[in-house]
Structure 1
Amino acid sequence: MELHGKKIAILAEQLYQEVELWYPLYRFKEAGAEVIVVAPEAGKTYASKLGYPVKSDKAAAEVTAADFDALIVPGGFSPDYMRRNAAMVQLVKAITEQGKVVAAICHGPWMLCSADVLQGKRATSFFSIKADLVHAGAQWVDEEVVRDGNLITSRQPDDLPAFCREVIAALIQVPAGV
């Protein structure tokens, strides 16, 4: 399996976008990765925009960047709640600074803004938060998936196949865009 031995954190908070959390979770498990749902509290259930539940495995305050090979930030309205939690923001910042894969989709790049890791990077997002990324120092582009170093971003649920392919490629050290 292409991701055997890799550990991936997927962040969760209330009002997450369903497929942006569940599609990567199952895709990366299918590829052999251990996937851990990280949220403000361990063992708590968080409801999606449509009420679909996800139960967290770990609290952000009880994990470190060293615990993971990659981190995924789904969209929906959850990133606005995630960035209110200092431990979640610090985890994104630390994993990014360690050069590990950090991937955010839709409104997920709000966490990259809050972690102050976008300066000089090419990135994309849902169009409504373009100004937030630009103000955080990113060069915003309208593409289905953008990989700049260890940061991977996508715009919306329709981009999930390209988003997941790029995360997998980055984790197995395949050059961007292949």
Structure 2
Amino acid sequence: MSEMAGKKIGILVEFNYEDLEIWYPLLRFREDGMETFTVGPEKDKVYQSKKGYPCKCDRSIETITDKDLDALIIPGGFAPDYWRRDKRFVDLAANMVRSGKPVGSICHGPWLLCSANVLKDKKVTCFHSIKDDVINAGGLYEDAPVVVDGNLITSRVPNDLPQFCKAILAQLKA
């Protein structure tokens, strides 16, 4: 049995998510025996990705707090634009960062972190089109496949997923 068995990883889901940014970590972390599940606005609702791939929501945001998770993953696509307008998601992201637990955010995912007001003086990366938003939120932008600053792990695009997941695993093992 893996040393990671029993770790609980929540991955946010909503309409217009980026396919690989949910599915790659969801399945990758299950390989190591972790309990990975999706968290969205409505339990059992099926959300379509940008390309139309379905993902059923395992747990409602109403039932999840930072105390229920060992790590949080915020995928990209256009879904983060919905989450950043919803206080429940903003509060979860902020509380996870402040708790010191690993928070992975990729592509457009840092939009949620901008709204959670947790980027000030933090080194981060993101999809290039939201770089200005990250900088305006106080983040110290770096163009790299993965950037780790404390418990905050950020990446740019789906091709960065191997490095992104390795960085999250390293945090969970620490």
* TM, length-normalised to structure 1: 0.95
Over the aligned positions, Cα root-mean-square deviation in angstroms equals: 0.7
Residue equivalent to 1:35: 36
Tell me if 1:133 matches 2:138.
Answer: no
Q: Percent identity?
A: 53
Looking at structure 1, the residues matched to 78 and 3 of structure 2 have their Cα atoms a distance apart, in angstroms, of: 31
Corresponding residue of 1:176: none
Where does the alignment leave 5 or more consecutive residues of structure 1 unmatched? Answer: 174-178
Aligned residue for 2:46?
A: 45
Partner of 2:102: 101
**Aligned positions of 1:4-153 closer than 5 A:** 4-153=5-154
What per-residue deviation string (whole Å, max 9, x for no partner) do you get for residues 85-106 of structure 1?
Answer: 2111111111111110000000
Contact preservation (8 Å) 1:9, 1:68: yes
The Cα of 1:2 is off from its aligned counterpart by: 3.9
Deviation at 1:34, TM superposition (A): 0.2
The structural deviation recorded for 1:23 is 0.2
| Structure 1 residue 41 displacement after superposition | 1.1
One-letter amino acid of the counterpart of residue 134, structure 1: I
Q: Distance in 2 between matches of 1:104 and 1:172?
A: 18
- CA–CA distance in structure 2, aligned partners of residues 123 and 105 of structure 1: 10
Give unpaired runs (5+ residues) of structure 2.
Answer: none
Deviation of 1:59 after TM superposition, in Å, equals: 1.1
Q: Using the alignment, how far apart are the partners of 2:45 and 2:89 within structure 1? A: 15
CA distance in 2, matches of 1:101, 1:22: 18
Q: Which amino acid aligns with 1:138?
A: G
Paired residue for 1:172? 173
Task: Provide, for residues 148-176 of structure 1, a one-character-per-residue CA deviation record: whole Å limited to 9, x for no partner.
Answer: 00000000001000000000011001xxx
* In 2, Cα distance between equivalents of 1:156 and 1:134: 18
Alignment check: 8 A CA contact 1:120 1:139 kept = yes
Alignment TM-score, normalising by the size of structure 2: 0.97
Aligned residue pairs, count? 173
* Matches of 1:91 and 1:40, distance apart in 2: 13
Q: CA offsets per residue over residues 20-51 of structure 1, 9 Å max, x none?
A: 11000000111111012000111111000011
